[in-house]
Structure 1
Amino acid sequence: MLFSYFASAIAAVISSATLVNSLGTSCSTPLGAGTAAATDPFWMQNIKHQGIAAFNPSPSSYQVFRNVKDFGARGDGVTDDTAAINAAITAGSRCGGGSCGSSTVSPAVVYFPSGTYLVSHSIIAYYYTQLIGDARHPPTLLAAASFSDIAVIDVDPYIPGGNGAQWYTNQNNFFRSVRNFVIDVTRVPATMSQGTGIHWQVAQATSLINIVVNMSPAANTAHQGIWMENGSGGFMGDLVFNGGKFGMWVGNQQFTVRNVTVNNAQTAVFGNWDWGWTFQGITINNCQVGFDLQTGGGTATQTVGAEAIIDATVSNTPIFVRTSQASNGKLGGSLVLNNIHLNNVPTAVGVVGGAVVLAGGTTTIASWGQGDVFKGTSATGTFTQGNIPAANKPAALLDSSGRIFGKTHPQYGAYAVSQFVSVRDQGAKGDGKTDDTAALKAIFAAFAGCKIIFFDAGTYVVTSTIQIPAGTQIVGEAWSVIAGKGAAFQNINSPIPVVQVGAPGSSGVVEISDIIFSTIGPTPGGGAAGTNLQVGQCPSSGSGGTTNCMAAYAGLHLTASSSAYLEGTWVWLADHDLDSSGQSQISLFSGRGILSESAGPVWMIGTASEHHTLYQYNLVNAATHYLGLIQTETPYYQPSPVPPAPFTVNASFKDPATWSGISAAWALRVTTSTDIIVFGAGLYSFFQNYGQACLTPENCQSQIVNVDTTSSVHIYSLSTVGTTFQLSVNQAGVINQSSNPNGFAATVTSWSQS
């Protein structure tokens, strides 16, 4: 079972989730295989589009879905379609141009039918935008020979004459998705770096999916697939880069990358800076360097702090990983390599200048690390450039090739329009006001397992628990919202879920994509427009109080009989109001982030949980979990009040019973659990009661990760900010951050029980 007591103002953004062991469906005619004809376009093109932006100033006239051909784009490979595409994106007073920092009231899906779209300038993606191509026949975005902008797709333009200022604050550049494109920059002269596919400077709730970038393979090429100079991400997956100087040129606090192939580039991945990245399922063919990492910088010159790479195959590439500086017996950029297959790769790990740290060849690297390795309750780590403890990987976590299992984002490209059912056609309103509970329950009863349920764009208010049966496939439009409201969710002593997937004794698969689960406050038993949890009600001063600013009891609960594949999922309690002119901070309260009691398998790939009172991730009696990369932030108001306040300990939710000496939320807590693999973690504590003086002595909180002695856990590439102890055992601090400085963060390369 999966219970979800989803949090606050944009609390849980489900990009892609597959859940099993669910409520049974009574569907008499199962959905079966897709029936789209070979010549049919992607279902999204022809399905009726009647989604609304519920809190837009003009909801009746605002257009959520836009087909670029309706705005004059030709897609013939000859006509310059730049103006038409950007007109489709900007129509309707949307958030862009440098005068709007963020907004939730003007979402848009900008759809590209199959074709070749010639562009001479950047396609500029406004805030809260999905750019989606035909998934059956992906369209090509073809850069003209005269193309001279920063990239074919730009999600955060620089303001001319702005001394480096950009449209959006990079750490708050949320809600972006680009899917199903071939981006071709081969006409741009090879020597021009303007031959860049995507300028992707983003934060959470963002994704790049199913994209191919074709670049010049010339020896003097300056082309780049992705250019990312900063941000706070994020997830991307199912990407291919051909040619170019760099497949990916990336710098961002943290990111998860899954299933990426780079062919015939000079450098597959150039890492400029980070606190921690996880790369899963990487294929590199015929490049000069696989990963070229800028390392060794201090706090003022942050470089690549931590890189964790799992399940890679590298062929005919002279150097797999190259760092800019030698570590020389101390941490100067953490590196973890796990299950790396090398074919004709002479140097596995080297340093600029030619020094070889780890020889290559045709071989497999099982588990190797560079950095500080800790075991058990020892406070002293060992700097290592060599083999490190290997986690046990239960077969249930692996695919047939022995890699960590991965799943592409559900897009239903093989399905015909007739195999979908619209919730608005079946009586749900999605207007942010009408109680849609009865309508949604009737829709699930009638169509779960029979049709793919399409949540037209909108905000669907529910006043009691919505149960999602087995066999259900749900897809949203521009991040459709299901929002819990009312008395049923207001009893803090008897919390109930807004959405429940699962019942004892039933089984099946449920897929949920492009859905936001939210609440309309106060919902102590459950800041964007419509939540009643914005700066006007709940300013950071705390004048809104706790009762009226309680957003949720908990975020996500995976119960013992469940299994889940979560990708690009963000369980967020809002720390600022996305619809205020200054993105003002707010004080909201959500009791718990993600609780898993699942016996597995569970995959959490590119997930985050932020600002919940007691914990962000809590694994209790759990087994067979893969988590990489996880990201957290501690509530900004703590330690005022000290947890568990304003909530109380609830044993049925496996809350920590003892809080003596603990003044802030746990980022990760693991109790009586087995075979837990954490492959990358960025766990941050930036504030004490909204002040940041604690960052310099790194004591915004004393402890942040706790593992008990009965659990079998391996943690790799653990980076923390603002906490004295990076890891505790039985709630006693063990690893002090002072032992592991690594730029702005501190990094533990490997920790295991033994």
Structure 2
Amino acid sequence: MRSFGSSLILLLALRISSSIATDTICPTSSSTSVSTVTSTITVTSTSISSVSTVSTSTSSSTTATSSASCSTPLGNGIAGASDPWWLQNMPHVGTSAFNPSPLSYKVFRNVKDYGAVGDGVTDDTAAINAAIADQSRCGQGCTSSTTTPALVYFPAGNYLVSAPIIPFYYTALVGDAKNRPTLIAAASFVGMAVIDADPYIPGGGGAQYWVNQNNFFRAVRNFNIDLTRMPVASTATGLHWQVSQATSLSFVKVIMSQDPATQHQGIFMENGSGGVLSDLEFVGGNLGVFVGNQQFTVRNVKFSNNKIAIQAIWNWGWTWQNVQIENCGIGIQMKTGGTSIETQTVGSEVLLDFTVTNTPIFVQTTTAQPSSLAGSIVIENAKLTNVPIAVGVQSGATVLAGSTGTMTIAAWAQGNIYSGAQPVPNYVQSNITPPAKPASLLDSSGKIFGVGRPQYENYAASQFVSVKAHGAKGDGVTDDTAALQSIFDTYAGCKIIFFDAGTYLVSDTINIPVGTDIVGEMWSQILAKGTNFNDQNNPRVVLKFGKSGDVGSLRVSDIVISTYAGSAGAIVMEVNIKQASQGSVGFWDTHVRLGGSAGTGLTQTTCLKLQGHGVECSAAFLSAHITRGASAYMENVWLWTADHQLDDDPAESQIDVFSGRGILIEGENVWLVGTGSEHHAIYQYRVNGATNVYMGLIQTETPYYQPNPAAPNPFVTNSAYSDPDVSSLKSALALSVTNSDHVLIYGAGLYSFFVSYAQTCLQTWNCQDQIASVGSSNQVRIYGLSTVATTWQMTFNGTPAINQNLNRNGFASTVTAWSSNELTRVTKRWVPVKARMHKRMVPARLPDSY
């Protein structure tokens, strides 16, 4: 995802950070840690056969080498309370198949092997950064690379640092999940943040290591970050997290000074195109988080004793889900009022399932917006206790009164709202009718269900089975189909399947039984290749999870699935399992990456843009399919058809890669949390015949090559897969909902930036005619619908209904709330918007590319 004017946004961020008042003092109080998620596998037995010794054989992968079948159900973990986390004890034989030195390159790195001590006294900065940088990885001067991955592991301990830890491209920093290590900033610390995911180059005039909107594939999890030794007056920062898609920050606690004069902050984020933040905690400090980014999803985060918990400076759309704010001066402070590209401020905030306690102000905007859109807000299911002002303005005005007792905001909105085919919005600052939420989508407290990635903290290494130890090669050349199928047939349900780092080539469908748990070491890659996947008229599944009628569990994390050139018939992943309990069928940090990387045959040397490419540059029929009756919980899942090259190309050249469809949802009880689907020819998200679906936030981009060729080319529509007819539109639909019930979309960023790779359409704001369509469905609710350069934001029952020009909100146009059923106000402040077209806002300087 590329964006406009990163330097403009940086200047905006710096200006705003200095102009917003932050002098409210947060009282001190005790806090509790965000709980980690443990395995939910039902216990039937704890007798586990041991894992075979890691094989170093170079024999063919066509026959699995497992020494015995396992028949005892996995059950509970058997690790002792004092045992290190299983990952530390696993044999690490992972490789990078397309690295210039694949056999000697180390993917797994333990910082103690590089000299880190972890005693809280020794300065471990150099050792940690050496572990990250070892073996010519993608640091400063390297735009991106998938061939130099690194999982940098921190055993339990206290690691003192005096300068930033810089995770290079394609890096996961992972601490012991059983006993989180602590990163301690020394009193003498110098630098932007303890973890700096995109450093500014000294003397570089604002230049950084990586283009922030292309800063993909990063993870940080299982850490405490302690800033309390740093001077109170310093802007001590836990993380500079300027990142893009396929990034996750989870199970991290930042501890800051609680001195009344503190200037500490947990996260500084001034730009990017994310992303997911989950299972985090911020204690003390001036700012819990300072955030500006095109879009992000935040789930299960706790703020306590911050002066300001969340300071939001700009965005196109963010969704916050299940957030606790305790004993803070202000819960959320939003920079608002900007309606042009040059004055971009907060575009849209969707605030879902908040609990706010002992905090004078829940939401504060910097400008009053009594009658026109300049910062969209939706609050739903917010419980306030001793919060006198629910929504206020920095000048002191109260927009929505709170209570010194307890109150619940069922649903409240500021912005333009629509129902059905209503062509002209009503501007509101009022309570609105909340949607009817199916109980099956809610947890026991009535909040939208959510669950963090499984980390198997109580399991021992002996309860995992390495695929390389049982016949799979992962070298990107050997056909691993038979070996992997044998491993799943043998060990599913009684071992956790560990995919050592590598690229596992498969030539036919892999059938993965219900009850399987899969963990990748470092975005371990499954690469589909061969004639079985070539025919779009006879599509074939690559990874088939369960079969129709299955009920039970399946959990997948840290996997990338790709295809080889010419795979026009590949259905990359198909989910057929109905959940046995909420979230028992789940995917975390699991991505479909089609083209743009080494080993795929879909690169700048074969598929450079505007060269008239055809079937040879096709990558997939369908990226993901949740079939009828199936369930799924997906968090941080990115379905990306590459628009540019990631490997061996400093220019990041744009490329033609053709895939037919993004994700097709036909099941029931589906949660999509922080997902993206980009550059598919027919649609990005398709919900058809589905029931009980939650999506928040979803993000899309229309293929850059369209309308040349025009949608659906080079594919043809297929009624067996309920394809919408897009032939008259010429561009892909970002969202299509038909014949479905209870579809809740809490945040949608649907973007169109190009016409046949040219961006002159941004001058006239008409890169695409229609982008989202809902028809023949009941109880569909969309909050925070933000589109870019699309004439009609919503088509309802076949009729274009919502014109973008009535909803301009900075770079994007935002519909605060839309409902397929009547959406009504329940209090005052209801202002009809005049049926006129706003003046088109054109940037003073257009970007070269997005």
TM-score w.r.t. the length of structure 1 is: 0.96
Listed as ranges, the matches of 1:146-545 within 5 Å are 146-193=188-235, 195-297=236-338, 298-361=340-403, 362-526=406-570, 527-543=596-612, 545=613
What CA deviation, in whole Å up to 9, does each residue of 1:439-461 have, x standing for no partner?
A: 00000011000100000000000
1:58 aligns with 101
Contact 1:339-1:367 within 8 A present in 2 as well = yes
2:114 matched residue in structure 1:
71
2-structure distance, mates of 1:130, 1:219: 35
Out of 66, 77, 83, the position equivalent to 1:34 is 77
Deviations 1:143-193 (A, max 9, x none): 000012100000100001000000000000000000000000000001000
Work out the CA distance in 2 between the residues paired with 1:749 and 1:713. Answer: 14
Q: CA deviation at 1:541?
A: 1.6
Per-residue Cα deviation, 1:320-341 (whole angstroms, up to 9, x for no partner): 0000111130001000000000
- The one of 141, 149, 169 equivalent to 1:127 is 169
Work out the CA distance in 1 between the residues paired with 2:782 and 2:245: 23
Corresponding letter in the other structure for 2:653: S
Alignment of 1:604-683 (within 5 A): 604-656=672-724, 658-659=725-726, 661-683=728-750
**AA paired with 1:292?**
Q
Q: Percent identity?
A: 57
Determine helix, strand or coil for the equivalent of 2:468: coil
Cα drift, residue 509 of structure 1: 0.6
**Contact 1:671–1:711 at 8 Å: present in 2 too?**
no
Match of 1:597 among 655, 666, 669: 666
Which is further off, 642-651 or 121-130? 642-651
One-letter amino acid matched to 1:594: I
Q: State the 1:494 CA deviation.
A: 0.3
User: For residues 362 and 509 of structure 2, what CA distance do their matches in structure 1 show?
Assistant: 51
Look up the SS of the partner of 1:572 in the other structure. Answer: strand
What residue in structure 1 maps to residue 33 of structure 2?
none
Q: Aligned equivalents of 1:148 and 1:221: distance in 2?
A: 17
Q: Give me the whole-angstrom Cα distance separating, in 2, the residues matched to 1:366 and 1:198.
A: 34
- Report if aligned partners of 2:726, 2:732 keep a CA contact under 8 Å in 1: no
- In structure 2, how many angstroms separate the alpha carbons of the residues matched to 1:299 and 1:445? 55
**Aligned-pair CA distance for 1:491:** 1.3
SS at match of 2:450: coil
**Residue 659 (structure 1) shift:** 3.2
Residues in 1 aligned to 2:498 and 2:453: alpha-carbon distance in whole angstroms:
16
Letter in 1 for 2:615: T
SS of residue in 1 equivalent to 2:318: strand
Aligned equivalent of 1:699, options 760, 766, 772: 766
1:95 maps to amino acid = C
Q: State the distance in 2 between where 1:91 and 1:306 align.
A: 41
CA distance in 1, matches of 2:738, 2:70: 39
Distance 2:150 2:383 in 1: 42
Look up the match of 1:552.
620
CA shift for structure 1 position 376: 1.1
The CA distance in 1 between the partners of 2:790 and 2:154, in whole Å, is 46
What amino acid is the match of 1:223? H
- Deviations 1:423-481 (CA, angstroms, capped at 9, x unpaired): 00001000000000000000001100010000000000000001110110000011000
Confirm or deny: 8 A CA contact 1:256 1:278 kept in the other structure. Answer: yes
Letter in 1 for 2:669: P
C-alpha displacement of 1:535: 0.5
Q: Which amino acid aligns with 1:496?
A: R
Query: Residue 162 of structure 1 aligns to which amino acid in structure 2?
Result: G
Alignment length (residue pairs): 728
Structure 2 counterpart SS, 1:341: strand
Secondary structure at the aligned position of 1:171 is classed as helix
- Write out the 4+ residue segments of structure 1 that deviate beyond 4 Å after TM superposition: none
* AA of the residue aligned to 2:344: Q
Shift of 1:660: 5.1
Does structure 1 residue 587 correspond to structure 2 residue 656? yes
Query: Do the aligned residues in 2 keep the contact of 1:68 with 1:110 (CA within 8 Å)?
Result: yes
Q: Is the 8 A contact 1:618 1:670 kept in 2?
A: yes
> Which one of 617, 642, 645 corresponds to residue 574 of structure 1?
642
Contact 1:676–1:714, Cα closer than 8 Å, also in 2: yes
Q: Distance in 1 between matches of 2:291 and 2:557?
A: 26
Query: In the aligned structure 2, how far is the partner of 1:135 from the partner of 1:532?
Result: 37
Answer yes or no: is the 8 Å Cα contact 1:671–1:710 preserved in 2. Answer: yes
For 1:389 and 1:715, locate their aligned partners in 2 and report how far apart those are by CA, in whole Å.
13
- Alignment match, 1:743: 810
Aligned-partner Cα distance in 1 for 2:798–2:144: 39
Structure 1: give runs of 5+ residues left out of the alignment.
1-15, 21-25
Q: 1:110 matched to which residue of 2? A: 152
1:734 to 793, 801, 809: 801
Q: Secondary structure at the match of 1:696?
A: helix
Residue 219 of structure 1, CA deviation: 1.2
Measured on the aligned residues, the alpha-carbon RMSD in Å equals: 1.3
Look up the equivalent residue of 2:601 and give its one-letter code: N
Distance of 1:271 and 1:123 partners within structure 2: 25
| Paired residue type of 1:650 | N
**SS of residue paired to 2:654:** coil
Structure-2-length-normalised TM-score: 0.85
Distance 1:342 1:156 in 2: 37
Q: 1:250·1:270 contact (CA, 8 Å) conserved in 2?
A: yes
Partner secondary structure for residue 213 of structure 2: helix
For residue 352 of structure 1, report the CA deviation from its aligned partner: 0.5
